[in-house]
Amino acid sequence: MTARRLAVGADGWVAGAARIDSPNRDARLPGVEPTLVVIHGISLPPGEFGGDGVLRLFTNTLDPAAHPYYATLAGLRVSAHFLVRRDGALVQFVSCAERAWHAGVSRWRGRARCNDFSLGIELEGTDATPYATAQYRTLAALLRALRARYPLGAAVGHSDVAPGRKTDPGPAFDWDALARLTGARRLPAGASGPG
C-alpha cells in the first residue's frame, strides 16, 4: 500500500482532509507557531464509532436528547484541529494557523495553556480499544506534513498535558507503532513532561 501524502497549505488547511469548520476556535497569539502535537482519543456515544457525534460536538450541533450521554455535554464548546476516523479518513475542523479548543487546562514543559502552542489531533477510539492500522497510517502522514510546515517537537497524549484530568489516548494507543512510522517521539511525562 502506498503511503498517503498530505500537505499543509499556507492557510493552515491540509489538502486531502475533509473540511468541516468549527466555531470553537480563536486566533493564536502573534508570532506563536505550534510546537507541540497533542493526541487525543474520542468516541460519541462512548465506545461507539462511525457516527456523527464528534462532528456535531465540534460544530455545536449535538442534540442533548439524542443520547443520554449527550446531555452531559450540553453547552460544551470544544474542537480539535483534526479527527482521524477508524477507517483512516481525515477531517479538519480548525486551521493550524488558529487555536483549537482541545487541551483545556494543560501544561507542557513549564508552559500552561497548551492550546496556545499546540495542534490537537483526535483519533476515533477509546482508552481500551486498540486503534486501527489505517488510523496510524493517516496519523503518520499527517505528522509528516505538519512537521514539514511547523517547528514541531514531541507528540504527546492528552494525558501528558493534563495528568489526573485526562487519560486519552490511553493504553490502547501504540506509541511504538507511531514511532516506527514517523520517528515521532512521546517524551515520558515524568521525566521532561508537564511540569
Contacts of 30 (CB under 8 A, 6+ apart): none
Half-sphere exposure of 139 (CA within 13 A, CB side): 35
The answer to the question of residue 161 being in a domain is yes
All three cell numbers of 29, joined, read 497569539
- 87-141 per-position pLDDT tens digit: 999 999 999 999 999 999 999 999 999 999 999 999 999 999 999 999 999 999 9
Predicted model pTM = 0.94
- Residue 31 near residue 65 (C-beta atoms within 8 A): no
Catalytic residue among 48, 98, 122, 124: 122
Q: State the residue range of the domain holding 76.
A: 7-187
Q: 3-state class of 123 per DSSP?
A: strand
How many CB atoms are closer than 10 A to CB 61?
A: 9
The answer to the question of residue 51 being in a domain is yes
Res 1: pLDDT = 37
Q: What CATH code is carried by the domain that includes residue 18? A: 3.40.80.10
The answer to the question of residue 16 being in a domain is yes
Is 122 one of the annotated active-site residues of the chain? yes
List the beta bridge partners of residue 122: 40, 83
- 155-186 per-position pLDDT tens digit: 999 999 999 999 999 999 999 999 999 865 55
